[in-house]
Chains A and B, each alone.
Chain A
Amino acid sequence: MTSGTRRTGLEKIMKTVLLISALASVLIVLLIFVFTLKEAMPAFREIGVWKMLSGTTWRPGNGEFGILAMIAGSGLVTLGAIIIGVPLALGTAVFLSEIAPEWIVRVVRPSIELLAGIPSVVYGLFGMVIIVPLVRMIPAPGNAGFGLLSASIVLAVMVLPTIANISEFAIRSVPRGYKEGSLALGATKWETISRVMIPAARPGIISAVVLGLGRALGETIAMIMVIGNSVILPTAMTDNPLSIFLSRARTLTGNIAVEISYATGVHESALFATGVVLFILIMLVNSSARFLLKKGAQ
């Protein structure tokens, strides 16, 4: 009987221990949010939330802490990455799920897996030695190669696996009957893909793109290495408005990473405030992706 109670005792203890580990993630999230917010409070109080968000100059030495330039930098580089990366990623997803013969899938899928596994610092290095010199060849005054375009290209490759994998899964989850029905009605394979399969998988595909967007906003090291890191509100450098992408910029993530090691006082607090803005931005993006996925599942 005593061994019986010991066994039940262990069972009870383990149940509690396991429940605590299950709740650890929530605790960590709360801890991160509370801690970052607490450290950011002095900046929010002394500078003002709105003044930080709308300020275009970041001069810690002068007590100026506007992060609008960084918000614009993060936004533009993400936009660029989506414009370049999404067609390629979706094309790959459709190719893998509907068109490629089995043996080709066995080549392409591990390639994409490997792209996902390559460390971001390696992408940054690759960007510095290959992409930046290429971009530098575009004739425009003040074009140094380091800037939004180089960063967007690097980032497009980095988000490709995320978007391609989730979209492929979404297309594969469309019930077989849809496809068979469409083909039986005399539609060609392409008509079936474009008018039946892709529309049916749309919520999944959109959430794939949104998740890629979240990943892009959060990227740090590769961005520091190729974007130039100047705190300026990006503007077009020639008559062509697209030349805005040749501008140097700094991302929210880069702002934190570059300055945190030597910042003190309000400056340090302002960097935590940058972190809070980034955290909230990414939470919004990710929860909208989750919302879309759930809506798609219904």
Chain B
Amino acid sequence: MNKRMLTQNAAFGMFWLAGIVAVLIMAFVVGYIFVKGFPGISLDFFTTSPRGGLSGDGGIYSTVVTTFYMIVVTLTFATPLGVGAAIYLTEYSANTENKVVRKLVTVARFGVETLAGVPSIVFGLFGYALFVSALNFGFSILSASLAGACLIIPVIIRTTEEALKSVPSGYREGSLALGANRWETTWKVVLPAAFRGISTGILLSAGRIVSETAIFFVTLGGSYRVPHSLMSGGRTMALHVYYLAMETRAFDKAMSTAAVLVGLIIVMNLTINMITSKIAAK
């Protein structure tokens, strides 16, 4: 074996190592959380609310409810806006000669890219100033989900655009040739064909809401009671992990809640991958 092949083997060895280390890190983080977290999980853990106080007693019922509300309300705000923006950017402005429209599209794309890079604490700060204070919504599900919507709008726009682009142009041409206008074509032909792709984007966004902590830390208030309206404060599961670890120092409960959180994220990832591979198979 000559020197060049020896160098190659040494280099490739390092790259194999990098790949293996990446997998091991994932396995160790997830494995550790599961091993430490599972013993504390029981049916009671899901059906009782945190009792507050310094011991971290109780389960996570109210945080599961709050997380669910946060997902639903945030998606209600963000989905129409995100999908609408993506439709405009792919269906309405493609191949246009109109200079004004082109300028607007450039501006809109710049906005999406910039929004995607804004750190979540800045969304939190903004939500705190505008929704919590100025508009007087207080620390509430409403304030938190409006701020959270800013975080996921770029995600929905990007994934929806991908989904729309993957619809064959023959579908559109066929529909337009039959006399349907642009909106009818989009609503009745393109959107149904892109439905699966769009739904992965929405699922991905739901995952972001489940994971997000910084925004809700400054807009949701952190009450551990079950929310009863849009104006109630609350804490999501992720926020609960933070309070348990940092304020109550109840690490066992924090680990169990984290295990539920990671389990949920894994299920969501698997679902997304399943839908995506079904699209690819078609």
Partner of B30, one of A23, A26, A118: A118
Are B118 and A24 in contact, CB atoms less than 8 angstroms apart?
no
| Chain A, interface SS category | helix
How close is B222's CB to chain A, nearest CB, in angstroms? Answer: 9
Q: Which residues of B contact A20 (CB under 8 A)?
A: 84
Are A22 and B125 in contact, CB atoms less than 8 angstroms apart?
no
Are A119 and B12 in contact, CB atoms less than 8 angstroms apart?
no
Q: How many pairs, one residue from A and one from B, have CB atoms within 8 Å of each other in the complex?
A: 269
| Chain B, interface SS category | helix
Q: Which of B112-171 contact A (CB under 8 A)?
A: 112-115, 117-126, 128-130, 150, 153-154, 157
Q: Which residues of A contact B126 (CB under 8 A)?
A: 31-32, 35-36
Which of chain A's residues has its CB closest to B22's CB? Answer: A92
Which of chain B's residues has its CB closest to A161's CB? Answer: B22
Q: Which of B212-263 contact A (CB under 8 A)?
A: 212-214, 217-218, 238-239, 241-242, 245-246, 251, 254-255, 258, 261-262
Q: Which residues of B contact A164 (CB under 8 A)?
A: 22
Are B182 and A11 in contact, CB atoms less than 8 angstroms apart?
yes
Total interface residues in chain B, CB < 8 Å = 89
Whether A100 touches B19, Cβ cut-off 8 Å, given contacts A117-B265, A221-B214, A286-B117, is yes
Partner of B119, one of A18, A35, A108, A220: A220
Whether A221 touches B217, Cβ cut-off 8 Å, given contacts A256-B121, A271-B125, is yes
Are B108 and A22 in contact, CB atoms less than 8 angstroms apart?
yes
How close is B71's CB to chain A, nearest CB, in angstroms? Answer: 14
Which of chain A's residues has its CB closest to B82's CB? Answer: A21
> Is A283 on the interface with B (CB-CB < 8 A)?
yes
Are A122 and B184 in contact, CB atoms less than 8 angstroms apart?
no
> Is A113 on the interface with B (CB-CB < 8 A)?
yes
> Is A1 on the interface with B (CB-CB < 8 A)?
no
Are A35 and B129 in contact, CB atoms less than 8 angstroms apart?
yes
> Is B195 on the interface with A (CB-CB < 8 A)?
no
Q: Which residues of A contact B43 (CB under 8 A)?
A: none
Q: Which of A49-57, A124-132, A136-144 contacts B (4 or more CB under 8 A)?
A: A124-132
> Is A114 on the interface with B (CB-CB < 8 A)?
yes
Are B81 and A21 in contact, CB atoms less than 8 angstroms apart?
yes
Partner of B114, one of A8, A29, A128, A219: A29
Are A121 and B30 in contact, CB atoms less than 8 angstroms apart?
no
Q: Which residues of B contact A188 (CB under 8 A)?
A: 4-5, 7-8
How close is A38's CB to chain B, nearest CB, in angstroms? Answer: 8
The proximity string for B residues 15-52 relative to A, scoring 1 for CB distances below 8 Å and 0 otherwise, is 11111011101110110110010000000000000000
Are B108 and A25 in contact, CB atoms less than 8 angstroms apart?
yes
Partner of A7, one of B29, B184, B218: B184
> Is A110 on the interface with B (CB-CB < 8 A)?
yes
Bound-state Cα–Cα, A191 to B218, Å: 52
Q: Which residues of B contact A (CB under 8 A)?
A: 4-5, 7-8, 11-12, 14-19, 21-23, 25-27, 29-30, 32-33, 36, 80-82, 84-85, 87-89, 92-93, 104-105, 107-108, 110-115, 117-126, 128-130, 150, 153-154, 157, 181-184, 207, 210-214, 217-218, 238-239, 241-242, 245-246, 251, 254-255, 258, 261-262, 265-266, 268-269, 273
List 6 A-B residue pairs with CB atoms under 8 Å apart, sorted by A's residue number.
A88-B18, A129-B255, A188-B5, A191-B8, A193-B11, A260-B125
Query: A118-B265, A190-B12 are known contacts; what are 10 more A-B pairs with Cβ within 8 Å?
Result: A11-B184, A24-B81, A25-B111, A36-B126, A110-B273, A112-B26, A119-B210, A119-B261, A125-B33, A157-B25
